[in-house]
Amino acid sequence: MELVFRAATVHRQSFDPSEVQLSQLLSVKTGGCAENCGYCSQSASFKTGLKASKLMPVDEVLTAAKAARDGGAQRFCMGAAWRDLKDRDVPALANMIGGVKALGLETCATLGMITPDQARALKDAGLDYYNHNLDTSPEYYAQVVTTRTYQDRLDTLEAVKNVGMKTCCGGITGMGEARADRVSFLHQLATMSHHPDSIPINNLVPVAGTPLGDKARIEGGISGLEFVRTIAVARIVCPQSMVRLSAGRNEMSEELQALCFMAGANSIFVGDQLLTTPNPERGSDAHLFAELGLKPMTMA
């Protein structure tokens, strides 16, 4: 209780506690990823029944972005299931980013590892945020993925920061990690040269056919209150970052979500789909906001 109170106090020093930023996420290229992230339905290493697709046409992405804006989203995030971005795909992505930006939305993308030159090209196209999650602690990382190193992730984040783009970087709880790993993960974020501008905290949604998903379905994940503790500590150690209550919200009660908002979460994903996993419907979010006296964050 004292931890949540402290987090709520820190939250109020930088933010209006009644405001929540609304983002919407679209998978612009689904499945077939060469990474072996043990939680992910999109990895080519696992049989999850997900069909791989090519990069979406620009006009279809812009149609989805307009619908997101009209539905109340303030930031539009585009995700592609790639290990790393190829130069040949940059022009199409630049057109997507520019088009989304022209709709008056903040832009975000997660496209795997990128080079400094690619980061510059995306920034020039109008990309506001680049998402690249650390996922977990350095100590537990090898239990999650072996196809890229922790340093690879840090290098991509550095490339993003060096061109003046904002970073979105978080992780996932409930993957079998210990509390010490959650502490270590948050310590990584807190000791970066620049705190991530957005920190998505995800709770594992177990996907059948993935190693960590199958394990979690048998052993269970972390408790709701432990998840709230993670949100609270993220808020305390990164006081000016947006802390996003991300994947796993569909399985959370209104009361648990309320505790997360009290503990400093001030961003959510809206829309009924998060890449390949379900998300609460807009109607249930509207009811929750009304019950808690929350409102969409005012755009800068």
Q: Give 8-66 pLDDT, tens digit per residue.
A: 999 999 999 999 999 888 988 887 787 878 788 777 777 777 777 788 899 999 999 99
161 three-class SS: helix
Catalytic option among 148, 235, 244, 249:
244
* Cβ atoms of 27 and 275 closer than 8 Å: yes
Catalytic option among 37, 169, 238, 260:
37
Catalytic option among 33, 169, 238, 260:
33
pLDDT above 60 for 278: no
What is the model's pTM?
0.89
Residue tagged 């594992």 (tokens) = 204
Nearest one of 63, 97, 91 to 77, comparing CA atoms:
97
Tell me the CB-side half-sphere exposure of residue 81, using CA atoms within 13 A.
25
E strands, 111-222, are 129-131, 166-168, 171-173, 198-203
Confidence of residue 297 (pLDDT cuts 50, 70, 90): confident
Q: Is 108 designated active site?
A: yes
2 three-class SS: helix
State how beta strands 106-110 and 75-80 pair.
parallel
pLDDT above 60 for 274: no
Nearest one of 275, 277, 286, 279 to 25, comparing CA atoms:
275
Catalytic option among 75, 108, 148, 169:
108
> How much is the pLDDT for 181?
96
Mean pLDDT over residues 221-233, rounded?
A: 94
Q: Is 153 designated active site?
A: no
Which residues have a Cβ under 8 Å from the Cβ of 112 and sit 6 or more positions away? 33, 35, 80, 82, 83, 84, 85
Q: Is 37 designated active site?
A: yes
Q: Is 260 designated active site?
A: no
**Phi, psi angle pair for 56, to nearest 5°:** -65, 150
Mean pLDDT over residues 274-285, rounded?
A: 63
Task: Give per-residue pLDDT as tens, 131-151.
Answer: 999 999 999 999 988 888 899
> How much is the pLDDT for 203?
92
Q: Is 77 designated active site?
A: yes
Mean pLDDT over residues 233-241, rounded?
A: 97
Residue tagged 């088009």 (tokens) = 99
> How much is the pLDDT for 215?
84
Confidence of residue 276 (pLDDT cuts 50, 70, 90): low
- Between CA 236 and CA 230 the distance in angstroms is 10
Q: Is 6 designated active site?
A: no
State how beta strands 273-274 and 19-29 pair.
unpaired
Other C-beta atoms within 10 Å of 218: how many? 7
Across the chain, what does the average pLDDT equal? 89
Other C-beta atoms within 10 Å of 91: how many? 12
* Cβ atoms of 166 and 129 closer than 8 Å: yes
Residue tagged 């209104």 (tokens) = 254
> How much is the pLDDT for 294?
94
Catalytic option among 6, 12, 69, 77:
77
Residue tagged 């890229």 (tokens) = 148
> How much is the pLDDT for 80?
87
State how beta strands 75-80 and 295-296 pair.
unpaired
> How much is the pLDDT for 281?
66
Catalytic option among 75, 148, 153, 168:
168
